[in-house]
Amino acid sequence: MMKRSMSLIGAAFLVGPAASAAAADVGKCRAIADPTERLACYDRAADQPAARAEPVVPAEPARARNVPATPLAASPQPPTPAPVRAPTREEAQAATSGRIAAAEPLRHGYFRLAMEDGAVYETTVVGPPPPVGAEVHIRRTLFGTTFFDIRGWSPITVRLSRQ
């Protein structure tokens, strides 16, 4: 173990002067203004021969402007879809409304509510069952909670059990 650490320290002393010389060469390369000469200097500092490359000349902007423009009328336009009419409040409520066909008691004060359209919901709060035949507005929130709004009642939180 002692020999290994001594050899590492000795290697660090040998590499130290070479590393500082390479850093000095890099400092000289930064001062060169010509990009081709600066790259060759960096290659020499890294002890790698410079690859012969021709300098890159940017394209003239005038060439890009000479592209013939196509008139907008000549390009094919997709058909414009018919405007979609938002449903009225009454239509939206009718689409999410229904009547309770049956209320079956479950354990611990919960109820299974069957709707006339066949959907089945279960209450998620303990309380008395809503009356059979009551008109229900089904309201869903952004977070996925479903409420039954019944006239004269506080909203009842339910979850869809079966459609």
Q: What confidence tier does 92 reach under pLDDT thresholds 50, 70, 90?
A: low
Highest-pLDDT range among 7-16, 91-100, 111-120: 111-120
The structure tokens listed for 116 are 């006339």
Q: What is the mean pLDDT of residues 65-86?
A: 64
Neighbouring C-beta atoms of residue 59, cutoff 10 Å: 7
Distance CA 81, CA 132 (A): 44
Query: What sign has the CA pseudo-torsion 54, 56, 62, 65?
Result: positive
Q: Which residue has the tokens 């405007």?
A: 83
- Has residue 17 got a pLDDT over 60? no
Q: Read off φ and ψ for residue 33, nearest 5 degrees.
A: -85, -35
- Has residue 26 got a pLDDT over 90? no
136 within 8 A of 115, measured Cβ to Cβ: yes
Vertex 66 angle, CA 54 and 78, to 5°: 120
Q: What is the mean pLDDT of residues 87-105?
A: 77
Q: Which residue has the tokens 């449903």?
A: 87
Neighbouring C-beta atoms of residue 111, cutoff 10 Å: 21
Of 46-50, 103-107, 134-138, minimum mean pLDDT range: 46-50
Distance CA 115, CA 98 (A): 7
Of 64-68, 103-107, 124-128, minimum mean pLDDT range: 64-68
